[in-house]
Amino acid sequence: MPNPRKPERSVVTTCAYCGVGCGFRAETIGGEIVRMIPWKEGKANHGHACVKGRFAFDYYRAADRVKKPMIRGSITEPWREVSWDAAFAHAASELKRIQAKYGRGSVGAVSSSRCTNEEIFLMQKFARVALRNNNIDNCSRICHSPTQFGLSATLGAGAASQHFDSILQANVILVVGANPTEGHPVFGSLLKRRVREGAKLLVIDPRRTETADSAHCRADVHLALKPGTNVAVLNSLAHVIVTENLHAERFIAERCHPAEFAQWKALVGDPRYAPEVVGPEAGLDPEDIRRAARIYAKGPNSTIYYGLGVTEHSQGSTGVMCLGNLALSVGMLGREGVGVNPLRGQGNVQGGSCLGSWPHMFTGYRFVTDDAVRATFEKDWKLELDPEPGLRLPNMFDAAVAGTFKGIYIQGEDPVQSDPNQNHIVAAMAAMECVIVQDLFLNETAKYAHVFLPGSSSLEKNGTFTNAERRVSMVRKVVEPLAGLEDWQITVRLINAMGYPLHYDHASQVLDEVARLSPAYGGMSFALIEREGSVQWPCGPDAPLGTEVLHTKTFPRGKANFMLTGYVATSERTDERFPLLLTTGRILSQYNVGTQTRRTGNVAWYGEDVLDVHQVDADARGIRDGDLVAITSRYGETQLRARISDKVNPGVCYTTFHFAQSKANAVTSNLSDWATNCPEYKVTAVELAKVPVGKSAAAATPAEVRA
């Protein structure tokens, strides 16, 4: 076999898939990318990679990539290619027309965690200086917004307390609502390594995931709880800790507010959270809850990693607070090997949170209602800013349905596929007068768009990503943008078209502005990151090279806070009509809604979403492995092929959401987290029925049936 052709050029950059943020060398021949080689010096991945980052890069030159701006008068008309200038002029005049007719607050924007920090920062600047409102949100709204809220409330910082390598000092690893071996594979491998070295593994997840049970990784205790009972179970762990006196009295006295601890102890110590009460409700053996709590409390170093199985619930923020409370109660913060760590789904979810792309917060998690903070931005931007919070993304859709929200600029997101209760989202999109979509492809949302701005992939631009361990790494341009502009340049041009003068020669100048306005990023610059390889925030005068572990001496507010986390069951309940609970997740080879990975050879590993259903539930409905089944909820219906699986308990079924045809979100509800409106994707009451052969064209061609 011949040796691989030598590359003509090699560029070190950061993977844009999950929140691990692996470093890669992108190699090109003849101006095209031919290989992605894991970068040995990458501090997040140390030369490792997964099948997404390694192989799924071809999407950038897929045949259906859009390379010209397009506009149309209505969504029933065909698209018309126009110049960039014409597209910006049209978009700006439409937004201004709508604001003149319906008010300044009738339009908004949403940024993407697939875009760079610089692009996300410019999107919030677009809303604030061009729309002159705070109707700006980012896609972590629908995944990790409860992390920002819940960790800020308890620990004072809405981010992971540790760097990834910290896990190698852990004796106990508690994984809650996450499956890192598939969702965050490179970190998952690090976790498995530590388990092989002898660390105890505790998993709280409704499914027997790869993380809970695979060849090299088996949980010492797996709490396969009923979806929707997280807060009850986490409170029950706390119950064991406080009633068996396993808590860390000295840590609590020195680093927390003892009165708050007493208040919290009274709540979780109440008999209603005893394992013997919670266990039957959550489908768990009470003794397993006790064992897990004792192992976690004993440590000596216990660490928590969690994912969307915690956040995407009506009590998502409460669940995150439970984890903060737990770690505080046993003193598992402030050193290596411990901590509370969100595993971020997309490459730049942490950046999306940090960069002020929120309706209520500027960069660095500072409230827009804070006059002093707002004044620093007003001085820098030479403009008076809206002092009131704006609409969140789900509020924008609700307002569109109510007829008061009429225009949106969407960068790198596909809400029609990815947001919950698809019928509701479609009604909202159809009610708007100007939808501007900036993306690589005509995605599902583009069907409702009036302006299409062809974006650039992460291989075609310069900027930075912030990964799940707060690590800021370089994204470098490997090939020229296929449509001519980097995403940040598109946003700047639209801001200009709206009448606000703004110019940057290079993306590095945007990061300089972020640093100037945001203490946590205060020391960041392209020059520093180039020199160090990557830098973790906080980075500033006290930590010129960044910070690996947070909360070592004090918490951001001095002391940490115990929050009261009463369990409130979701209003999404099973009943006779909808007796099963559907939950959702991801698979190793595909990424999110699949816009990128579906356009690569990775479909060979996973070509369609399937529905995992337990034998007992399948038998009761006459469903066999491979049958096409109709899934019905209170909100809608879709069809998927069934796979009989013992990874789910009876009463629970599971699917992924990587393929648009699957319409997984046709059945999900519009219930959401109380604090952030993060959707409750993880719990939907459903019923299944076998689709009779011949009743659906689907049967022969599963991947096309459900379009």
Partner 1 sequence: MSAPGKGDAVIHVDVLVAMANQIGDFFAPYPPGQREEGVRNHLRHYWDPRMREALLAHVDATGGAGLHAHVLAAAKLLRAAPAEKSAYAGPPKA
Q: Provide the binding-site residues for partner 1, judged by CB under 8 A.
A: 105, 135, 149, 152-154, 156, 260, 267, 314-315, 317-318, 359-360, 367, 369-370, 388-391, 395, 398-399, 401-405, 431, 557, 561-566, 568, 674-675, 677
Minimum CB separation from partner 1 for residue 364, in Å?
13
Angle between helices 371-381 and 507-517 (to 10 degrees): 150
Shortest Å, Cβ 245 to partner 1: 23
Tokens found for residue 590: 């595909």
Closer Cβ to partner 1, 260 or 487, answer by number:
260
Beta bridge partners of 222: 203
CB of residue 522 vs partner 1: minimum separation in angstroms? 21
Nearest by Cα to 179 from 651, 679, 585 = 585
Peptide bond into 275 cis (omega under 30): no
Terminal Cα distance for the chain, rounded: 42
SS3 content of the chain, % helix, strand, coil (to 5): 35, 20, 45
**Can you tell me the distance from the alpha carbon of 538 to that of 519, in angstroms, rounded to the nearest whole number?**
8
Closest to 582 (Cα-Cα) out of 473, 511, 495, 662: 662
- CB nearer partner 1, residue 566 or residue 607: 566
Residue with Cβ nearer partner 1 (11 or 373): 373
| Closest CB to partner 1 among residues 129, 153 | 153
Helical ranges in 385-538 per DSSP H: 393-402, 415-418, 422-430, 487-497, 507-517, 526-532
Tell me how far, at minimum, the Cβ of 107 lies from partner 1, in Å.
Answer: 13
**Separation between Cα atoms, residue 221 and residue 226, nearest integer Å:** 16
Closest approach of Cβ 640 to partner 1, in Å?
A: 28
Question: CB of 231: closest distance to partner 1 in angstroms?
Answer: 10
C-beta closer to partner 1: residue 21 or 324: 324
Give the separation between CA 440 and CA 115, rounded to whole angstroms: 12
User: To 10 degrees, what angle do helices 84-102 and 487-497 make?
Assistant: 50
In terms of CB distance, is 395 or 458 closer to partner 1?
Answer: 395
CA–CA distance, 662 with 656 (Å, rounded to integer): 9
Q: Which residues pair with 438 in a beta bridge?
A: 411, 453
Q: Are 592 and 681 a contacting pair, CB within 8 Å?
A: no
In the complex, the smallest distance separating the C-beta of residue 647 from partner 1, rounded to whole angstroms, is 32
Phi, psi torsion values for 617, nearest 5 degrees: -70, -35
- With respect to partner 1, which residue has the nearer C-beta, 54 or 559? 559
CA–CA separation, 482 and 484 (whole Å)? 6
Q: How far apart are CA 19 and CA 21, in angstroms?
A: 5
Length of the chain: 707
**What does DSSP assign to residue 126?**
I
Closer Cβ to partner 1, 228 or 454, answer by number: 228
Q: Name the residue nearer to partner 1 (CB basis): 564 or 700.
A: 564
Closest CA to 333 of 192, 157, 491, 487: 157
Nearest distance from C-beta of residue 114 to partner 1, angstroms: 26
Sign of CA dihedral 6, 9, 10, 13: negative
Distance of closest approach, residue 1 Cβ to partner 1, in angstroms: 58
Please, are residues 678 and 312 in contact by the beta-carbon 8 Å criterion?
yes
Residue 705 one-letter amino acid: V
Shortest reach from residue 515's CB to partner 1, in Å: 23
Closer Cβ to partner 1, 300 or 403, answer by number: 403
CB-wise, 44 or 426, nearer to partner 1? 426
C-alpha angle 267-269-275 in degrees, rounded to nearest 5: 120
Burial per residue of 420-440, b for 16 or more beta-carbon CB atoms within 10 angstroms, e otherwise: bbbebbbebbebbbbbbbbbb
Shortest Cβ distance from residue 436 to partner 1 (Å)? 21
Q: Report, in Å, the least distance between residue 88 CB and partner 1.
A: 27
Tokens of 475: 């994204």
φ, ψ (nearest 5 deg) of residue 204: -115, 110
Choice between 103 and 300, CB closer to partner 1: 103
Distance in Å, CB of 277 to partner 1, minimum: 17
CB of 105 to partner 1, least distance (A): 7
Closer to partner 1 by Cβ: residue 199 or 429? 429
Q: Supply the angle between the helices 117-125 and 487-497 in degrees, to the nearest 10.
A: 10
The per-type count for the chain, helices as H runs and strands as E runs, is: 23, 28
Min. distance of Cβ 369 from partner 1 in angstroms? 5
Q: For residues 314 and 638, which CB has a smaller minimum distance to partner 1 in the complex?
A: 314
535-569 burial, b if ≥16 CB within 10 A, otherwise e? bbbbbbeebeebbbbbbeeebeeeebbbbebebee
Residue 327 CB, nearest approach to partner 1 (Å): 16
Query: Measuring CA to CA, how many Å separate 628 from each of 357, 634, 692, 696, 707?
Result: 41, 20, 8, 9, 14
Residue 694 Cβ vs partner 1, minimum distance, rounded to whole Å: 37
Nearer to partner 1, 83 or 369 (CB): 369
Within 13 Å, how many C-alpha atoms sit on residue 300's CB side? 3
| Nearer to partner 1 (CB atom), residue 153 or residue 478 | 153
Q: Which is nearer to partner 1, 376 or 496 (CB)?
A: 376
